Structure 1
Amino acid sequence: MNIAFIAADTDSAQQALERFTERYGNVPLDQAEVIVCLGGDGFLLETLLHILGYNIPVFGMNYGTVGFLMNEPEEEHLPQRLAYAQPTIISPLRMRVRTTSGEYHEGLGFNDVFIYRETRQAAHIGIEVDGRERMARLVCDGIILSTPAGSTAYNRSAHGPIVPLGAELLSLTPISPFQPRHWRGALLPAESMVRFTLHDTVKRPASAVAGPAEIRDAKEVVVGVDQEKKVTLLFDPDHSLSERIIAEQFAE
């Protein structure tokens, strides 16, 4: 099996890279049958954006902090683990941002897209779903639109729901909402197109973030799943992403 190893810059990941390379070899991406990503969730998400278009499955091993999207860092019998690993196909969210100066920017995020205030002033955000206004003005610190894979990350920290992978849903979750005070978000069909409009941007500037892309002074942000872009994540049979999402809902 031709394996390409990619590692984060941390000492533990780089040391693991040396051991894996000595034991199993390390081929270039264009010769790889599978990519083994050594690091944490953040590094894995960066790797997924980098390898879009290669059509190579990715098996993550946790040499980071949280490792929700990663497998256990076991170095024995790697070819056998890869042969029996279960695939999960995910697509990223694509955001298109128009800034207050009229510039346009794009970004991709496998976990989520979020908007957040830039100053001490709360953001005022209008929400439109599939061309229909759903909320004229949400007063808040920000708002998150997350995929099921990202529902256990920032979305959960903001008290959003954990979404099973097969649910074909997106989670829309406000960050510290002030008005309407009791609104806690919504679950949307995965094919939804969501448009956020930022109001009073001179006084209340806000940034839009997707993956590594952070666009400041956003005026309008349009977000939807990019179904044309897909990546395959591999998981040990007893540690699939769907199982982790279920287990996370019962965590103490």
Structure 2
Amino acid sequence: MTGFSKIAFVAARGEPAMAARERLATRYGEIRPTEADVIVALGGDGFMLQTLHKYMTRDVPIYGMNQGTVGFLMNEYNEDALPERLAEANVAEVHPLRMRAISEGGAEYDALAINEVALLRQTRQTAKLRISIDGRVRVDELICDGALVATPAGSTAYNLSAHGPVLPLNAGVLALTPISAFRPRRWRGALLPRGAKVRFEVLDNFKRPVSATADFNEVRDVVEVEVEEARDIRLRLLFDAGHDLEERILSEQFVS
């Protein structure tokens, strides 16, 4: 990487992150995020997702430093030699998912997801979903709590909790994972090529309503949801050498 001369600092709400932002801004100077050539995000993974969404159309690299809990998408917090760290950081490029959802009233909703698009039952009764891939029905009726499509970057989040596979960034695939599937009992999901278009149809939607979420954007009472990778949008995350996202995803598969 080349050096960055225009650094912006953004922080999650909370005393530790806000105090860290003030110290870093005083030490290194700062400009507005809309004018920066790199953004330093201070917080946890949730705040990193918010930052990526907020500046998604800018194509500006974002370097996170952990001031939260998990910090899977963040680097270790260290105030020293920040310009040098930014210049030497590795770049991880990710593409979000594009969701198009149709509600029972016929309204259409579009949203982007960096981690996953998930369909979830809204009541005590299980959902019934039909799943098509590129126009071909692959699961005629999935009885479940829900299902999700995860990106490689998001495969260690909700997808992993739902027993989905961990995906290396360069694998060129997406994860289709059922959530608490009742029938078919033996189906554990599928790996899909990154260019695949996934279509969910909600069966018996009045009796068994379903919501759809793209990261933190939710649509209630959906009847149809389409998901595909947004190849026209590129997100760049910066990681310290030896702590890049590819290595973290690989290491996650060997945690006991």
Matches within 5 A, 1:7-18: 7-18=11-22
1:67, distance to aligned residue in structure 2 (A): 0.6
Which residue identity is paired with 2:202?
Answer: L
**Unaligned runs of at least 5 residues, structure 2:** none
Q: What amino acid is aligned across from residue 244 of structure 2 in structure 1?
A: S
- Give the aligned partner of residue 155 of structure 1: 159
Alignment deviations for residues 147-202 of structure 1 (CA, whole Å, 9 cap, x no partner): 00000000000000000000010001100000001110000000000000001111
Aligned AA for 1:120? R
Whether the aligned pair in 2 keeps the contact of 1:139 and 1:179 (CA below 8 Å) is: yes
Q: Unmatched 5+ residue regions in structure 1?
A: none
Does residue 43 (structure 1) correspond to residue 43 (structure 2)? The answer is: no
1:230 maps to: 234
Within the alignment, does 1:108 sit opposite 2:112 as a pair?
A: yes
- The corresponding residue for 1:221 is 225
Matches of 1:148 and 1:158, distance apart in 2: 15
Q: Under a length normalisation based on structure 1, what TM-score does the superposition of the two structures give?
A: 0.99
CA RMSD in angstroms, aligned pairs only: 0.7
Say whether 1:125 aligns with 2:129: yes
SS at match of 1:94: strand
Superposed, 1:191-206 pairs within 5 Å as: 191-206=195-210
User: In the alignment, does 2:118 pair up with 1:140?
Assistant: no
SS in 2 for 1:45: helix
C-alpha distance in 2, partners of 1:41/1:55? 19
Are 2:111 and 1:75 equivalent residues in the alignment? no
The Cα offsets for residues 105-138 of structure 1, whole Å up to 9 and x where unpaired, read as 0111101000000000000000000000001110
Q: Which runs of 4+ in 1 moved over 2 A?
A: none
| Identity within the alignment, % | 51
- Is 1:139–1:177's contact at 8 Å kept on the other side of the alignment? yes
Distance in structure 2 (CA, Å) of the matches to 1:99 and 1:197: 11
Q: Is the 8 A contact 1:125 1:138 kept in 2?
A: yes
Q: Distance in 1 between matches of 2:15 and 2:185?
A: 45
1:23 to 2:37 alignment: no
User: Do residues 207 (structure 1) and 211 (structure 2) align?
Assistant: yes
Of 50, 57, 62, 1:58 maps to 62
Q: Does 1:170 align with 2:174?
A: yes
Q: Specify the alignment match of 1:181 in structure 2.
A: 185
Deviation at 1:29, TM superposition (A): 2.0
Cα distance in 2 for residues equivalent to 1:201 and 1:30: 43
- 8 Å Cα contact 1:46/1:211 also seen in 2: no
